[in-house]
Amino acid sequence: MSKVTIVEVGARDGLQNEKVLLSPEIRLEFAEKLAGAGIRKIELGAFVSPQWVPQMRGSTELMKMALARKTSGKSSLKDSELSALVPNLRGMQDAIDAGVKDVAIFASASEAFAKKNINCSIEESFGRFAKVMELAKSNGSRVRGYLSMCFGCPFEGEVPEGRVVRLVKRLRDLGVYEVSIGDTIGVANPMQVHRLVSKLIDAVGEDFLAMHFHDTRGTALANIHSSLQLGIRVFDSSLGGLGGCPYAPAATGNVATEDVVYMLHGMGYKTGIDLAQLIAINQWITEKVQHELPSRVGRAGLPKLLPIGT
Ligand code: HMG
Ligand code: MG
Pick from 87, 27, 26: nearest CA to 51: 87
- Tell me how far the alpha carbon of residue 50 lies from the centroid of ligand 1, in angstroms: 8
Concatenate the DSSP letters of all residues of 103-146 into one string.
EEEEEESSHHHHHHHHSS-HHHHHHHHHHHHHHHHHHT-EEEEE
Q: Which atom, in ligand 1's list, is nearest to the CA of 104?
A: 58
Closest CA relative to residue 5, chosen from 51, 45, 46, 41 = 41
List, by residue number, the catalytic residues. 245
Q: Using a 6 Å cutoff on CB, does residue 269 contact ligand 1?
A: no
Residue 245's pLDDT is 67
Encode the chain (310 residues) as per-residue pLDDT tens digits: 699 999 999 999 999 999 999 999 999 999 999 999 999 999 999 999 999 999 999 999 999 999 999 999 999 999 999 999 999 999 999 999 999 999 999 999 999 999 999 999 999 999 999 999 999 999 999 999 999 999 999 999 999 999 999 999 999 999 999 999 999 999 999 999 999 999 999 999 999 999 999 999 999 999 999 999 999 999 999 999 998 667 777 778 999 999 999 999 999 999 999 999 999 999 999 999 999 999 999 999 888 766 656 6
> Would you say the CB of residue 247 lies under 6 angstroms from ligand 1?
yes
The pLDDT assigned to 304 comes to 77
125: Cβ below 6 Å to ligand 1? Answer: no
For each of the domains in the chain, give its residue range(s) and CATH number, in order of start: 5-300 (3.20.20.70)
Number of neighbouring beta carbons within 10 Å of residue 51? 7
Q: Using an 8 Å Cβ cutoff, are 266 and 210 in contact?
A: no
Does this model's pTM top 0.95? My answer is yes
Residue 246 confidence (pLDDT): 72
